[in-house]
Structure 1
Amino acid sequence: MCFTDGAAAAAASGREILPATVVPEHYTLELTPDLESFTFDGIVHADVKIVHATSTIVVNAHELDIKAARVQLTRIKTESTLPVSSITFDEKLQQATLHFDQELPADAQARVTIEFQGIHNDKMAGFYRSSYADPDGTKKHMVVTQFEATDARRCFPCWDEPALKATFDVILNVQKDLSALSNMNVLSEDGHPTLASHKTVKFARTPVMSTYLLAMAVGDFEYIEAKTAPNCPALPNQVTVRVYTSRGLSSQGKFALGCAVRILEYFSAVFGEPYPLPKMDMIAVPDFSAGAMENWGLVTYRTVYVLFDDKTSTARAKQGVAYVVAHELAHQWFGNLVTMQWWNELWLNEGFATYVGWLAIARHLFPEWHSFVAFVGDDMARALTLDALRSSHPIEVPVKAPSEISQIFDAISYSKGASVIRMLSSWLTEDVFLAGVRKYIQRFKYRNAATTDLWAALSEASGMDVGQFMALWTQKVGYPVISAERQGNAVTVKQARFLSTGDATADEDETVWWCPLAPYVGGEPTNSASAVLKQKEGTFALPAKPTAVPVDFYKLNLDQANFYRVQYAAADLARLGEAVEHGLVPTADRVGLVSDVFALAAAGYSSTVDALALLSHFKGEQEYIVLEAIAAKLSQVKTVWAMEPEPVADQLAALQRSIFAPTAHAMGWEYPDGESHLDGLKRQLAIGQAGMAGDKELVAQAKARFARFIQGDTHAIHPNLRGAVYAIVLRHSSVSPAAKGGEPHSAELEAVKAIWENESTPMDQRLAALGALGHVQDSTLLAGLLEYAMDESKVRPQDVMYPLRSVAANARAGGRALAWKFVQQRWDELYARYQQSLSLLAHCVAIAGDFASAEFAETEVEGFFAGKDTKAVDRALMQTLEKIRAQAAWLERDRAPVQAWLADNVQN
């Protein structure tokens, strides 16, 4: 009944969905993969219910060769087998229709059997192939699945929609020397009845789940294993956790394995529901389009997000592994156990997994990392940037066709979703919020749910009408800027929609958001429970400044818990700057202050000069996360001003040196025993920023250490600093002029390229080398790098974005123009390669996003894409165009004031 009601609503919304006449209840899927021909044979038996009388059964199928089909019908204890009279295909809708000469009666049970053949493609979608070199250097393959969002249909005919949950019995016929994995544990492993070289592996039945979560992997794997604690109250049945890799790499899975065990125990406790499967496998996949995929009981990862080498991997890589593992395991509850009804509510999966992934790191695994402060400079900053565009979209966004789904796997679904959840959790308190989440999970486990179901559970737990105010944040596009001005012991605030161009019209500014103000005065939080702006403007009392506090200041949005920007009156901002110097502003608030001031300047609400001047109050800044935010904002200014006259570029580099060089010199190049995780990251940031800006001493040190390093002295450069050193050396290296008939040459470039090509080096270090290549200062070499990046024998398709982005960032050496020209010239190839990806094709479009010319947006970008099929990247294209135009307006508006300020305030 719930399904048919949902189907009616879906049909009314215009979604491209299957008819509601037949629904699946159970699949028995048997596959025989061939790792030489890269084809697989399959047979699926789908036990279904006939909901409405019909003479057709429609299933999803894509790039499958259906060989035969039949239906065994059961009604009133009578069985009959019905042949299929014909099969028709709709390639656009990716559907196959089985036609029958007689009607299948309503309320009957049936078993649909389909025999088929498919291909292990190289597109990182469906049941695809991935290549790698074994320890002897021999090229080998594994085959793995990636079904989200709509690619289960590439593997077997099915009802490939999230609401059409069923159970699965999986059988894999594989070569005897290979391992076979699926969502569940192995029940039996016997010789194949007819293929002497094969074995038949049968897996336990899955819980009821959506097709996109089904997973399989076949290859020559090894693994390491651990178990959850035998006496864990929240997880009474021990869970076996394994990390699978290709031969020789399993030891690099130890860190992820330890994180996974602790996270399963933690989430079982805070969600009030034990992880329900007997095992959790995690596998490193060499070719993977996303970061990871949360398949229930068999999570697949890009290698860099699950493998970590204690001796040579970086602190940043460690942080990345911990977070991605936490995010994917959060999905075992949010997405797998409780699943969205349809893709318009993707945020219920991704926003929650993002937030509770950070929660697990901050509250349980590594509290010393201050992860929720990092969240402000990471996910929240990314969401605020994207949602400031007119071409943004609501968190809950209509999705009709499969081609539209990939475009909402973006910072709105993930990062804004997580940000508004964090805002709600802060408002309700974390304990009340988690109590509501537990109600939600208990009520909807093994079922599908909607956003309104979550709000209902949270309302019950809190005694508040959560849906009333949260609908504004999930169903409306954008967010407000709150202008604030103190008048005595009160602050007057007004809200209006924030846009990157600062010019919201009356029609665009109709939403009145519910905004917790969370004010504090003189370093002391006030009782913020009543300080909620629910109208366009209001006035709120502030308590008197504590006597011992030397600066009479106030700040809104304590801990940057709420999703908006604040524009302070000039006098109030000046006092905030003084408070920063006196150490009175918490770390997250300093990050937010930097972010807001620069965003307001870029959008024209204030001057870039004011933002640059604010940095003078941060000269004594010692917190890594704040320095990282400052680096990001300076990078944004340098990107937009990149093609200005050389004196301007030199002064911006000098400003960068003035902020980061003192820290770099004070900390030095060596990592003392016991140094904190964040201090290690600060050392890397400071040396990288000051060195790239041309600090002579650091550049000389980097070159000397690099020379020793490539001669075999691995201690010359600490692993955390290698990526920064590669970039500094290439940025400041000399390039030999081209010999007659030849090309320019850079010995340093070739050395860094060799580091990338060394497959025995941990992947995070290899990617650091690959991403540094684009810093070389020669346009001919940069053009060659782009061609190099497209050579699949050198760079995997998933990794092309590393050199492409670094070349594009090298504007003054001609890289920006070269990268865009390359995308234009190779568009057809890029489109064919990445159109199945969730995001890689959009990254190609976004390469144009660093330009700051309205004419370029119109003639180069719009002109190039005119007449092309852009349905897979429509949203990315609109966002890129809007970004370019906003940057053009920013540069035109503030070019002269910034040039004057730099001349007056910065010494080269």
Structure 2
Amino acid sequence: MANVDKNNGDASRLPESVKPTHYDLTIKTDLEKLVFTGYAVITLNILEDTSVITFNYKGAKLQRCLLRSDALKKELTEVSQVADAARERIAVHFGHTLPKGSTAKLRVGWEGILTDNLMGYYVSSAQHEGKKRFYTLTHFEPTAARRAFPCWDEPLLKATYSISLISREDTVNLSNMPAIEEHPLTESDGADPETSLGASIKTLASFSANEPHVNEHTGWKVTKFQKSPPISTYIVAFANGHFSHLETSYTSPLSGKTRPLRIYTTPDIISQAQFALDLKAQVLPIYEKLFEVEYPLPKLDTLVAHDFAIGAMENWGLITGRTSAFLYDDRKASLAAKKSVAGILSHEVAHMWFGNIVTMAWWDNVWLKEGFATIMGEVIIMNRVFPEWKSNSSFIAGHLQRALTLDAQRSSHPIEVDCPDEKHINQIFDALSYSKAASMLRMLATFVGEDKFLKGVSIYLRKRLYGSSVTHDLWDGIAEATGLDIPTIMENWVLKIGFPVVTVTEKEDGIHLRQDRFLSSGDVKEDENQILWHIPLGLLTTDSNGASSVDRSLILNKREATIPLDPSRPFKLNAGTASVFRVAYSPERLVKLGDEAARENSAFSTEDRMGLVSDAFELAKSGVSKTSGALGLIDKLRSEKEQLVWSSISDSLSSLRTTWWEQPKDVRDKLNVFVQTIFGPLVDRLGYDHPQGEPSYIRELRDCAVSSTAAAGHPGVIKELQARFRHFQDTGDDSRIPIDLQGIIYCTAVQHGGREEYEAVKRIFKKAITPSVKIASLRALGFSQDPAIIDDALAFILTDVQTQDIMYIFTSLGTNNKARRPFAKYFQDKFDEFSKLFEGNFNLAKLVTAAFQHLTTKEDATQLTEFFKEKDVSKFNLALAQVLDKIHSSAKWVERDAKDVADWLEAWSKENNA
């Protein structure tokens, strides 16, 4: 009987006629020849009568497949293999029908080349005794397991794994589970072809028949790993290399079991790994207590790689990631670097529950793991471990604003989005799946209360242990914990594009509210404005004594509504900036809000003030209000004390300066003077050096103030930063370069220096031994104002920069006004080269965004559209549409408010004698 394909309406899904239940994998890695060979025995449940077995595979030299059926009582040899390269699968035809309800074992061998493309099973390297030494690791998310072994590469199709790795004797083998046996490879290991190892050794040897020395057993070993619980292919992991490690342990608060925790790196960087290891031991028991679910595996390792496509990856039992994700040296790395390592590590540990124990059924629900890992790992857990970092407030400046900026574009997509093929799947790992999903969950947690929210999450996890889930499973858990109709409240936040703006109209005895979709371009069409969200309003009001209170029960679920209150007293919607919407007040009310925000002991919290600044600028960008009103609000906040509010101010002014980059010089100069005037007093008060024991928020405020004034061309700040770099350049003594100011000092040296400073920073980059120094110096190389040096930096990208690090210099070149257009042309000229270099991983879309997002004219959008018209944009079509939307929005903002900004700056300059 022919294959029964229940997924025949979805080209991305495999037929449902069989389901894998167990993989017995053997992988032999040759680090000298940079090749690997493999053998698998895959146990299958036959769900429908079929004579065809179809699985995912994207490799070379797949051997003939054998199938042993329990029902047919014999071993079948394939009749043919039919490859579908476009859908990355192979259909293996056998001459007999496998009956429904039976089981079978598929046996197959293969070989592959260890490339450096950062996906599948790939090779990285490190320097050892002056020479390059290779090691290997896997990165399978979302659909790259098929590049390493034949498999059913879909998250729903969980199976158990027994993995054996054959390698050189002097190397270390790692996988998801602990090693249960390791011994030198001998002839007896291949003596019994009926065993998985014996069959695999025989098969692996057949690939190397013309190279007898490869078949010798001397110098090789076998590492067998414990059988895993059911897991999805994308979190299977293995690695081989000359690794060193640090070790600790933690004791489960639920069972009392003690589990080993290790972090592996190459020997040259192991000294920088202690912080990440200690933090892992600290957060694991917190997660267990919050979720009431014990971490189930016997160990949790981390492997740090020199080459890695993304930040980090949550493979179950073997977290992997790049050096900047997990290495921290408190003597040579900034507080920002420490926060980044902590947030990433905690995020990946959160995935041990969200994604690994409970896995989304398909990639359209990727937010179920990424949104959760973001809010849990980077906010809820960080608040418990490092309360002084104020992670909830930081979330507003980072994730919430990132989400709202992207979601305000017409080309946005729902959190739960259709994923018809691999190209679409790769593109949805964006600010919507991470940041908007996390923002939505933060909104829900604030609305129902964090304790009830976490209780609902625990219910959700315990009901779906080792299984798969969809959105409604989560809503049902939280509904059970709260007694609220969570599915109805949350449905449009997940299934619909965009978010609302709530317009406030004041009346004598209350406020009238109206919700509409918000677009940064300001041109919402009628058919785009049909959605009604259930908006938790979070209404803050004050009494006659000035005491404030917040009503969290109010929800706006209609187009319009009126709420009674006394508008003569301060009030504000979206208290704590906890919900995913913007608020449009009248110009008169915005002035009053600014007065209250600037008042000593204001009723408005840090989070409230951050939201006011962000909303004012984004509403001006869309044409709902004027940019002059937003500038006036900032001018009122000169006495602000909170670092995070200053960070929001800095981000907003940076966005304005970046968009106004081709306006008349007089306007740009006045805008820079405004920035210098706002931030200059902070530099005067805080200086450039941080004393021992100084609070973290003061360190960050200093960094914000110095960076903002330097970017705006403050002569005194630039002179000081140049002097500090010159001292380092002349003496080799870096004591005058504070860790937190390292990046801005390097950037200033290159931006306001010449060839000598540029070459000096290039040498720093090439000799860097910590991720912080490497990233800071690489970013700085993109800031020169000299056309000849800019050309040198562009050429440098493809000759001296690791593939994983290209994004850092791309970002700085894109933000450099002098380099922006040469850089855009360079990327177009080299597009085919970059497209090939980043083939098959996440980052091509990010390069497109970095190269073009700061262009601001309609002509730019037209030229870009024309350039890509004949290109294959299927791997980054979402990012391209978003870039074009951003260019159009920026062009409209400038066209709409150029005179408004010029007039306000002129009046401000006269008033302040600036």
TM-score range, shorter chain: over 0.9
TM-fit CA distance, 1:574: 1.2
**1:337 partnered with 2:344:** no
Equivalent residue in structure 1 for 2:610, among 580, 583, 591: 591
Superposed CA offset, 1:256-296 (max 9, x none): 11111111111111011011011111111111110000000
Contact preservation (8 Å) 1:846, 1:880: no
Aligned partner of 1:169 in structure 2 is 162
Read off the aligned partner of 2:65 and give its amino acid letter: A
Q: Does 2:38 align with 1:32?
A: no
Q: Please, what TM-score do these two structures have when normalized by structure 2?
A: 0.94
Contact 1:54 1:103 in 2 (8 A): yes
Deviation at 1:139, TM superposition (A): 0.9
In the TM superposition, residue 840 of structure 1 has moved relative to its aligned partner by: 3.6
User: Which of 818, 831, 836 matches 1:827?
Assistant: 831
Alignment deviations for residues 739-798 of structure 1 (CA, whole Å, 9 cap, x no partner): xxxxxxx11111111111114x3111210111011111101111110110111xx21011
Aligned to 1:604: 623
Q: Tell me whether 1:129 sits opposite 2:123 in the alignment.
A: yes
Query: Does 1:786 find its partner at 2:766?
Result: no
Match of 1:350 in 2: 370
Report if aligned partners of 2:383, 2:389 keep a CA contact under 8 Å in 1.
no
RMSD (Å), alpha carbons: 1.5
- Name the structure 1 match of 2:529: 509
Match of 1:82, SS state, is: strand
Quick one: which amino acid aligns to residue 897 of structure 1? D
1:368 to partner: Cα distance: 0.8
Corresponding residue number in structure 2 for 1:865: 868
One of 775, 795, 808 as aligned partner of 1:802? 808
How far did residue 524 of structure 1 move?
A: 4.4
What residue number does 1:741 align with?
none
What is the CA deviation profile of residues 283-323 of structure 1, one whole-angstrom value per residue up to 9, with x for unaligned ones? 11111110000000100011001000021111000000000
Query: For 1:419-453, what per-residue CA distance to the aligned partner results, in whole angstroms no more than 9, with x for missing partners?
Result: 01011111110111111111111100100011011
TM-score, length basis structure 1:
0.94
Counterpart Cα distance in 2 of 1:748 and 1:413: 41
Are 1:669 and 2:688 counterparts? yes
The answer to whether the Cα contact below 8 Å between 2:344 and 2:378 also exists between their aligned partners in 1 is: no
Could you tell me which of 655, 658, 664 is aligned with 2:674? 655
1:453-501 deviation per Cα after TM superposition (whole angstroms, max 9, x unaligned): 1111111111111001101100010000001133234221110000011
Query: Contact 1:376/1:588 (CA < 8 Å) preserved in 2?
Result: yes
**Unmatched tracts of structure 2, length 5 or more:** 188-216
Shift of residue 697, structure 1, vs aligned partner: 2.0
In structure 1, distance between residues paired with 2:34 and 2:547: 65
Contact 1:518 1:526 in 2 (8 A): no
Specify the alignment match of 1:60 in structure 2.
56
Give the deviation of 1:719 after TM superposition: 1.2
State how far apart, in whole Å, the 1-side matches of 2:707 and 2:656 are: 17
Q: Distance in 1 between matches of 2:266 and 2:805?
A: 19
824-833 or 671-680, larger mean C-alpha shift? 671-680
- Map of 2:893 onto structure 1: 890
Q: Please give the residue correspondences for 1:104-183 in structure 2 after superposition, counting only pairs within 5 Å.
A: 104-134=98-128, 136-183=129-176
The whole-number CA distance in structure 2 between the counterparts of 1:386 and 1:846 is 14
Deviation sequence 1:627-646 (CA, Å, 0-9, x none): 11111111111111101121
1:706–1:69: structure 2 CA closer, same or farther, 3 Å change rule? same
Q: Residue 248 of structure 2: SS of its match in structure 1?
A: strand
1:738: which partner in 2?
Answer: none
Asked if structure 1 preserves the Cα contact closer than 8 Å seen for 2:66 and 2:107, the reply is yes
User: How many angstroms does 1:624 deviate by?
Assistant: 1.4
| 1:560 paired residue among 569, 577, 583 | 577
Give the 3-state SS of the residue equivalent to 1:228 in structure 2.
strand
For residues 417 and 410 of structure 2, the distance between their equivalents in structure 1, rounded to whole angstroms, comes to 14
Whether contact under 8 Å (1:377, 1:625) holds in the other structure is yes
Q: How does 1:617-656 map to 2 (within 5 A)?
A: 617-656=636-675
Structure 1: distance between partners of 2:581 and 2:170: 56
386, 411, 414: which one pairs with 2:406?
386
2:27 maps to a residue whose letter is: L
1:692 alignment partner, one of 711, 730, 753: 711
Is 1:766 the counterpart of 2:783 in the alignment? no
Aligned twin of 1:540 = 563
Q: How does 1:513-532 map to 2 (within 5 A)?
A: 513-522=533-542, 524-526=547-549, 528-532=551-555
Distance 1:131 1:770 in 2: 20
Task: Map Cα deviations across residues 663-701 of structure 1 (whole Å, 9 max, x no partner).
Answer: 011111221121111211111111111123222222221
The C-alpha deviation readout for 1:561-614, integer Å capped at 9, x for no partner, is 100000112222111111111141210111111110000001111111111111
- Residue 220 of structure 2 corresponds to 198
Q: Report deviation, 1:900.
A: 1.8
Partner Cα separation in structure 2 for residue 905 and residue 543 of structure 1: 33
Deviations 1:773-826 (A, max 9, x none): 1111101111110110111xx210111121122122111x2x111111011000
Report the Cα distance in structure 2 between the residues aligned to 1:356 and 1:94, rounded to whole angstroms: 35
Counterpart in 2 of 1:227? 249
Is residue 275 of structure 2 the alignment partner of residue 255 of structure 1? yes
The residue aligned with 2:96 is 102
**SS class of match (1:65):** coil
Aligned residue identity for 2:81: I
Amino acid across the alignment from 1:476: K
The answer to whether the 8 Å contact 2:286/2:381 transfers is no
The residue aligned with 1:847 is 851
Compute the displacement of 1:530 (Å). 3.8
2:507 to 464, 487, 493: 487
Kept in 2: contact 1:64–1:154 (CA 8 A)? no
Compare 608-617 and 378-387 and name the one that shifted more.
608-617
The offset of 1:233, in angstroms, is 2.3
What does residue 738 of structure 2 align with? 718
Tell me which amino acid in the other structure corresponds to 1:226.
T
- In the alignment, the residues of structure 1 paired with residue 382 and residue 93 of structure 2 have an alpha-carbon distance, to the nearest angstrom, of 55
- Alpha-carbon distance between aligned partners in 1 of 2:644 and 2:8, rounded to the nearest angstrom: 47
Q: Does structure 1 retain, via aligned residues, the 8 Å contact 2:56–2:90?
A: yes
C-alpha separation between the residues in 2 aligned to 1:662 and 1:699?
A: 15
Is 2:598–2:636's contact at 8 Å kept on the other side of the alignment?
A: yes
Supply the distance in 2 between the matched residues of 1:107 and 1:387 (Cα, whole angstroms).
47
**What residue in structure 2 maps to residue 213 of structure 1?**
235
Deviations 1:116-162 (A, max 9, x none): 1112111100000112212x331111111000000000000000000
Q: State the shift of 1:531 in Å.
A: 1.9
The residue aligned with 2:434 is: 414
Identify the residue that residue 238 of structure 1 maps to in structure 2: 258
Instruction: Say if 1:61 and 1:95, in contact at 8 Å, map to a contact too.
Output: yes
Matched residue of 1:714: which SS? coil
Tell me: CA distance 1:162–1:712, structure 2 relative to 1, closer, same or farther (3 Å). same
Which residues of 2 match residues 726-745 of structure 1 at below 5 A? 726-733=746-753, 735=754
AA aligned to 1:829 is E
Segments ≥4 residues shifted beyond 4 Å: none
Asked if the contact 1:15/1:399 (under 8 Å) is kept, the reply is no
User: Would the aligned equivalents of 2:379 and 2:395 in 1 still touch at CA under 8 Å?
Assistant: no
For 1:454, the equivalent position in structure 2 comes to 474
Structure 1 unaligned segments of length 5 or more: list them: 546-551, 736-745
Query: How many aligned positions are there?
Result: 874
Alpha-carbon distance in 1 for matches of 2:584, 2:547: 21
Deviations 1:200-234 (A, max 9, x none): 000001110100000011111101111103xx423
